[in-house]
Structure 1
Amino acid sequence: MRTFTVDLNPERDVTLEATLYDAPSPEEQPTPLEHPRPAVIICPGGGYQFLSQREADPVAAEFLAKGFDTFVLRYSIREHAKGANPAIDAARSVRWVRAHAAELGVDPQRVAFLGFSAGGHVTGMIGTSWQSEDLLAAERDEYDRLVAAGVESNSGLLEFSSRPDAIVPCYAVFSMDWPDDSSREWLTFGDCLANVTDQVPPTFLWTTNEDAVVPPTQSLRFATALAEAGVPFEYHHFDRGEHGLSTSTPVANADRASLPENADAWIDLCADWLRATWTGR
């Protein structure tokens, strides 16, 4: 197993934490393990104020067990979560994984982007706005500045696509039209519902009916928009479960006395759906 952290933007403390299977041994050919592997970039939630521990490491562990290489994106939060910043972070993480796919052992055509709550909003933004010329211009300006400042991780990234091969928004925010928070500065690409087109990658999304923090109608409205745009998707609406379930397993919920009986099924469902969606790639 290999683990390391890439500094993507020190100005905003944006990093990408990689946990990868070892590269194939030259002495053992062909490798008995899948190579190259599918990858998943994980975006924890936290209301753009913090990054939830329960939605980072436990999720990576589950997808590692399913044969995915994993990357936890620690994106812009608090005073840095404004304008295009989180969308730039998401786009850059996809480009970086593709740019380094060969050395990572990752299949560059099987890169999923997965996020929870506010991280699900970041997921929705990259899924609906990856092709935006305004986002590309904002990326180019930031990369040029960081490369000039000696941040080598951004060099040459624009040669690679920022479009994920699938997105997985989990009990996500897709539009800020429901909270009464007029003081919050809107994110440039924040209205994911309005930005849905047929260019959105295949999508797996889920939520719960008992979520009292992000209305489950957010996911339902996004699924409806995907259907109207002709985007392939799979949608799971679990009856029970409060906000922030992450994997809905005890390892991610030690602070909760009980868990819903079946919401943890989303992990197997999602991994199977991703592999089926990418069959033949």
Structure 2
Amino acid sequence: MDAKEYNLEISDHEFKLKGYWLDQIEDFGQAVEYPVVIICPGGGFTFHSEREEEPIALRFNSFGMHAVVMEYKLIDEEPVYPTALQQLAKTIDWIERQPDSRHIDKKRIILAGFSAGGHLVAAYNGAGTDPELRKRYQIDQYIGEPAGVILGYPVIDMTIKGSFPNDNKVLHEISNDPTFWKTEDLLNQNSKPAFVWQTRTDNLVYVINTLLYVEKMTKLGLPAEYHMFGSGIHGLAFGTYVTKKPGKDKYLNAWTSKWIELALNWLQMMKLLG
């Protein structure tokens, strides 16, 4: 495997990518093009959780996928959106322009987002697939599109009382544009298939978020697989010792940890892997 860091820039905002590229296997006797997953970690738009970066990337590597971690714009003196949306569009474009020697299957680009990163991925699955919105937010200049999305305990609707961000000031720090407040409303007939999971007992991002998203996917007739686990806190990542915070057993959940295997099955079922 070849692991490298890259710096890209959009609208005078520099952002970092971390690439985890699979090597070719000589025993195959021929070159293999691998799908690639772009991972957007969580962190409440104030930091990027490393628990949802390399551990997730390496697990997707083990499935036979390249992985790229994208550290998108966080809250600062300017709102997160639309810059974060543009950064994701540029990352997809950047992958499209990688040389053939990288052996990327560019028809199978998957977006995976967790928590706040899930909001970005969900927003892109709407605005990024709508020609009018692509033009409005200046992402129509970029090439490439995802083939599917994976959402883990994602922020979907930021207007739900009691759920993240549950603070009008923070809401406007994320976006002054109401278009980005309810990503379920951005879904359209061009949106991509989705694998979505969350826990019923998530007390930071209420489970109604994912229910709203999957309900809209269903109404539009879009392929979706949804798993609501009966227990578990927000931000479990794998729910195993790999991503457990030291001394905090609440980050262990053997049942919820099955989500990654379910996602693998879904990718194969959708012919996005294998």
2:104 corresponds to which letter in structure 1? V
Match in the other structure for 1:150: none
CA apart distance, 1:109: 0.9
CA apart distance, 1:217: 0.9
Give distance in 2, aligned partners of 1:229 and 1:201. 11
Match in the other structure for 1:70: 67
The alignment's TM-score, normalised by the length of structure 1, stands at 0.85
Give distance in 1, aligned partners of 2:79 and 2:102. 29
CA apart distance, 1:267: 0.5
The alignment's TM-score, normalised by the length of structure 2, stands at 0.87
1:214 aligns with 2:211: no
Give distance in 1, aligned partners of 2:95 and 2:207. 31
1:168 aligns with 2:167: no
Deviates more, 1:93-102 or 1:193-202: 93-102
Give distance in 2, aligned partners of 1:138 and 1:234. 29
CA apart distance, 1:214: 0.3
Give distance in 1, aligned partners of 2:195 and 2:273. 19
Match in the other structure for 2:15: 14
Q: Percent identity?
A: 26
Match in the other structure for 2:244: 253
Q: Which runs of 5+ in 1 are unaligned?
A: 142-156
Contact 1:174/1:219, CA 8 A, preserved across alignment:
yes
1:232 aligns with 2:214: no
1:30 aligns with 2:29: yes
Provide closer, same or farther for how the CA distance between residues 134 and 128 of structure 1 changes in structure 2, counting only shifts above 3 A.
Answer: closer
Aligned partner of residue 221 in structure 1, secondary structure: helix
Contact 1:88/1:135, CA 8 A, preserved across alignment:
no
Give distance in 2, aligned partners of 1:164 and 1:30. 29
1:103 aligns with 2:101: yes
Aligned partner of residue 242 in structure 2, secondary structure: helix
Q: Which runs of 5+ in 2 are unaligned?
A: none
Instruction: Report the number of matched residues.
Output: 260
Give distance in 1, aligned partners of 2:253 and 2:269. 27
Match in the other structure for 1:47: 44
CA apart distance, 1:131: 2.9
1:177 corresponds to which letter in structure 2? T
1:223 aligns with 2:214: yes
1:273 aligns with 2:266: yes
User: What do you get for the CA RMSD once the two structures are aligned?
Assistant: 2.2
Provide closer, same or farther for how the CA distance between residues 273 and 231 of structure 1 changes in structure 2, counting only shifts above 3 A.
Answer: same
